Structure 1
Amino acid sequence: MRSQNVTLPEARLYIDGKLRGASSGKTYDNIGPWTGEVVGQAADASAADVDEAIAAARRAFDSTDWPVNREYRFELMKKYRDLLKANRDKLVQIARVEVGSAIGAAARAQIDGALNGADGLLECFPQVTWEEDRGLRNEYGFDTKRLVVHEAVGVVAAITPWNVPLYVNIGKVVAALLAGCTVVLKPAPDTPLMGSIMGELAAEAGFPPGVFNVVTSADPAMAGEMLTRDPRVDLVSFTGSTAVGKRIMENAAPTLKRVFLELGGKSAYIVLDDSPNFPMVVMGSMVVFHAGQGCAYPTRLLVPRSRYEEAVKALEMAYAGFSSKWGLYDEPTCIMGPVISKRQLERVMSYIEIGQKEGARLIAGGKARPDKGGGFFVEPTCFVDANNSMRIAQEEIFGPVLVVIPYEDDEDAIRIANDSIYGLGGAVFGSTPRALAMVKRIRAGALSVNGGMSITGDLPFGGYKQSGMGREWGREGIEEFLETKAIGIRAS
């Protein structure tokens, strides 16, 4: 089935236990990245709809037993996870049509990664400590029995991006609900249905009214501004750009909300001179999976100057071999489709122009490809002869663009990797003791050694520096949504 023949169902709001349209009746066009054409409609929430969602979440937290009934939450979230898995094919279709994901990427990171992540959170839930006995202590002449309890923060605003929407939605929503919080989810305007379907499945699972709410809006800022400023919201969990993350911190400051941010990245992929299968490892650095639209995606390739020409030749071969293998809607092995939107295409193309002006050399790609269809296609692109001071090496492009930088020795590679405002992910390939010693000195939150998986549902994920604060996924991801309370009971 071709993407231009697919019409997606309407993305509806889910507020206070009800699936419905916007109160104004307004909808907006859901644009498909493969075609640039309308593939569906989404409810265009008004400020009144957002206000109702916040009020519902506040009421559910304050006046029901949701925050304290852990066993009930756990069983309901397992049922919800099972419903997500039962709808896997539908979710894959949404990822393909709405997100623009190629089949190979849709079935892997987009959907199975999200479903596996839900499993990981449920596995971690029993590890959370809810109450600790800190024993007796004698102060001021009498004994006090002390308890430390951990309880839900309150109402959570979950604001999510368009690149891997189900994965990020689950990481925030499932963790917050397991913690006992209530949630208002605001998906990105470009991917409303992947948020809306979570509301549909919550209704099917029998969620209590107000515990989980979804608001979609064409306006990229209105709902987010309301959620981040409203005193009824206790915590904001945001994944997206660093610039928007700074805005959210400003908005949250007057009410001193807790803010959890997972932001941009410019991760390094370091290949050491003793890496086995050096050419193949270098080839594996191509930025092509989901058109490079991943915050932790390593987009700076650091190779030893002593083997630099060998690395460049390996990349030329790899990109030439990949030139006909991307942008294929019906090909099950395809992992690269279009970028999300015209706006994103223009952003990526502007950085390619910047890289050329800065003096980096293109060895592959560099062009938009309207011949691939009416959507938003950019060739897999590789710059060599770059240095780390260039904008293409410092700024997040969020497209299929790799920047190759030579280094002198291990110390130089570490220096280059850390010479960034970001610190989200990264990878080192080489003899394991040497590579492990290097990753321990790289200032980033998720590091891979020789291809090991450092991003899974049971491990904490988040960044250093301007890549954010707080951790998502794993036990730590649930604990982000908890407060800590000390209790003293006079014993004598």
Structure 2
Amino acid sequence: MGLLADRQSQLLIDGKLVAGGAGTFPTINPATEEVLGTAADADADDMGRAIEAARRAFDETDWSTNTEFRVRCIRQLRDVLSRHVEELREITVAEVGAPVMLTSAAQLEGPIADLSFCADTAESYQWRTDAGVAMPMGIKTHRTIAREAIGVVAAITPWNFPHQINLAKLGPALAAGNTVVLKPAPDTPWCAAAVGQLIAEETDIPPGVVNIVTSSDHNVGALLSKDPRVDMISFTGSTATGRAVMADGSTTLKKVFLELGGKSAFLVLDDADLAGACSVSAFTASMHAGQGCAITTRLVVPRARYDEAVEAAAVTMGSLKPGDPTDPGTVCGPLISARQRDRVQGYLDSAAADGGKFACGGGRPADRDTGFFIEPTVIAGLDNSAKVAREEIFGPVLTVIAHDGDDDAIRIANDSPYGLSGTVFSADPDRAARAAARLRVGTVNVNGGVWYSADMPFGGYKQSGIGREMGLAGFEEYLEIKAIATAVN
């Protein structure tokens, strides 16, 4: 049976593929504005059943303690997803508007391969540590430190990189022994539902261990943060929504992991190859229409070469025309929705009102009557106090800001409520390393290095989040620590 038969998806609850209590809702191709099909629309009762199934699977089965079985299931899931990768690719390009070139990396194939790291980590992990014998309070005691699954994990995910974020939560949470309720974004329900279908039909993952609940109603997802049967929330999305998740979770003192927004800076020091660095910055800001939380959207350049930097960025960005995501040459596809396109346009209008100039772009492409496209845009003439330099736009927009030396460049980069990522370019590796060390961010790219990898932790400082995803640190987010003290006779 193929994926999403009759162009509709179902919920995965307690091992069964079922319809949604609220009916269905459409999923839209953002490049064409055509309705692709429908997704199951869950209601509060559906979510309640999903939570109960996850709770029961954790409490009443050996999933949390049978590491060998979990490892086998995760590798099996990796292999199943790999076998269906072309079907998943077609769904991803159509529903997300992701350029097909990105599906061989972080949009699809990379996250599938990353499941290997989760399985390998669980297989080799030291679940119990012998802390030796001591005499606390004069009592001879043998101490053991045990690491155990937290319990039921609620994973709430966004639409921009659905497979990467869904699997970066499912993989380590399951490997650590938890059960999961996944609530994906309503803009991209099929990407998650297709994974759910494959779990139900082609893996040995037991009923209730993974539940996938799609819904057009954000309030259905909010139930996860408040329900006492849920032990942890793992949320990726906007900072504003993250605050609400944290507040709701506080009523039952859940553990909360948050990966939130960013307004990352790309620092070009005065000894760098200016044209080359600015071209890299412009290309990065245009990929997937700028819809990435860690994309560097502030280009901070030497004041004496400001006009040259603006021109170099505009040459590259202006050449990256918004295009059909099915075209292998497309770098900048559509935004996810009309709502998001209008939001980005609002930021562009605010830049113009603040006195900014568009070195390229500035609005919708004249040659595209359909699709949620915005031209890759370079904004010049504003400083770091401008709205477009302070707030996350989530579109193909790069604001060029002048600096007066290394200290000033670092000050500008750190003058942000966010602290997710950053980039430094310098001809002097030691100078670049010193600048990178002073950035208050969770990830730094130095002279083109790549931090994205299954074994590297990802997360931010300040209002960019709490905790880390991926790597050993991301695996351990899903564990509790228990101290066991046994009297020795």
TM-score (norm 2): 0.96
Q: Which amino acid in 2 is paired with 1:393?
A: A
Contact 1:120 1:456 in 2 (8 A): no
Which of 191, 194, 199 in structure 2 is aligned with 1:197?
194
2:184 is equivalent to residue 184 of structure 1:
no
Cα deviation, 1:342-375, whole Å, max 9, x if unaligned, reads: 1000100000001111112110101113642422
Q: Which residue of 2 aligns with 1:258?
A: 255
Which of 247, 268, 271 in structure 2 is aligned with 1:271?
268
Q: Which amino acid in 2 is paired with 1:283?
A: S
SS in 2 for 1:121: helix
Which of 63, 70, 75 in structure 2 is aligned with 1:66?
63
Which of 16, 19, 30 in structure 1 is aligned with 2:17?
19
Q: How many Å apart are 1:456 and its aligned residue?
A: 1.2
Q: Which residue of 1 aligns with 2:373?
A: 377
Distance 1:379 1:235, change over 3 A: same
Q: How many Å apart are 1:462 and its aligned residue?
A: 0.5
Cα deviation, 1:304-363, whole Å, max 9, x if unaligned, reads: 11222221221232233334xx31344212121100001000100000001111112110
Contact 2:318 2:376 in 1 (8 A): no
Contact 1:370 1:376 in 2 (8 A): no
2:57 is equivalent to residue 50 of structure 1:
no
Q: Which residue of 2 aligns with 1:358?
A: 354
SS in 1 for 2:140: strand
1:166-245 → structure 2 map (5 Å cutoff): 166-203=163-200, 204-219=202-217, 221-245=218-242
Contact 1:155 1:235 in 2 (8 A): yes
Q: How many Å apart are 1:478 and its aligned residue?
A: 1.0
Q: Which residue of 2 aligns with 1:3?
A: none
SS in 2 for 1:405: strand
Q: Which residue of 2 aligns with 1:144?
A: 141
Q: Which residue of 2 aligns with 1:310?
A: 308
Structure-2 separation of matches of 1:329 and 1:236: 33
Structure-2 separation of matches of 1:55 and 1:361: 54
1:102-117 → structure 2 map (5 Å cutoff): 102-117=99-114
SS in 2 for 1:372: coil
Q: How many Å apart are 1:281 and its aligned residue?
A: 1.6
Contact 1:271 1:304 in 2 (8 A): yes
Q: Which residue of 1 aligns with 2:288?
A: 290
SS in 2 for 1:456: coil
SS in 2 for 1:254: coil
Structure-2 separation of matches of 1:239 and 1:388: 26
Q: Which amino acid in 2 is paired with 1:442?
A: L
Q: Which range is displaced more, 102-111 or 420-429?
A: 102-111
Q: How many Å apart are 1:224 and its aligned residue?
A: 1.6
SS in 1 for 2:482: strand
Q: How many Å apart are 1:195 and its aligned residue?
A: 0.7
Cα deviation, 1:208-238, whole Å, max 9, x if unaligned, reads: 010000000011x222211110000000000
Q: Which residue of 2 aligns with 1:281?
A: 277
2:440 is equivalent to residue 457 of structure 1:
no
RMSD, aligned CA = 1.5
Structure-2 separation of matches of 1:53 and 1:330: 35
Q: Which residue of 1 aligns with 2:464?
A: 467
Unpaired runs of at least 5, structure 1: 1-5
Distance 1:111 1:232, change over 3 A: same
1:370-449 → structure 2 map (5 Å cutoff): 371-430=367-426, 431-449=428-446
Q: Which residue of 1 aligns with 2:328?
A: 332
Structure-2 separation of matches of 1:65 and 1:264: 37
Contact 2:55 2:229 in 1 (8 A): yes
Q: How many Å apart are 1:126 and its aligned residue?
A: 4.0
2:35 is equivalent to residue 38 of structure 1:
yes
SS in 2 for 1:318: helix
Structure-1 separation of matches of 2:16 and 2:369: 38
Q: Which amino acid in 2 is paired with 1:361?
A: K
Cα deviation, 1:448-488, whole Å, max 9, x if unaligned, reads: 11111112111110110000001101111111000000010
Q: Which amino acid in 2 is paired with 1:88?
A: V
SS in 2 for 1:232: coil
Distance 1:333 1:69, change over 3 A: same
Structure-1 separation of matches of 2:287 and 2:116: 24
Contact 2:418 2:462 in 1 (8 A): yes
Structure-2 separation of matches of 1:148 and 1:368: 58
Q: Which residue of 1 aligns with 2:342?
A: 346
Contact 1:355 1:392 in 2 (8 A): yes
How much identity, in percent, do the aligned residues show?
47
TM-score (norm 1): 0.95
SS in 2 for 1:440: helix
Q: Which range is displaced more, 253-262 or 373-382?
A: 373-382
Structure-1 separation of matches of 2:415 and 2:256: 26
Aligned length: 482
Distance 1:209 1:320, change over 3 A: closer
Structure-2 separation of matches of 1:239 and 1:153: 19
Structure-2 separation of matches of 1:155 and 1:355: 44
Q: Which amino acid in 2 is paired with 1:381?
A: T
Structure-1 separation of matches of 2:6 and 2:363: 30
Contact 2:8 2:39 in 1 (8 A): yes
Contact 2:270 2:405 in 1 (8 A): no
Q: How many Å apart are 1:23 and its aligned residue?
A: 3.6
1:123-162 → structure 2 map (5 Å cutoff): 123-162=120-159
Structure-1 separation of matches of 2:325 and 2:67: 43
Q: How many Å apart are 1:200 and its aligned residue?
A: 1.2
Q: Which amino acid in 2 is paired with 1:259?
A: V
Contact 1:370 1:377 in 2 (8 A): no
SS in 2 for 1:285: helix
Q: Which residue of 2 aligns with 1:479?
A: 476
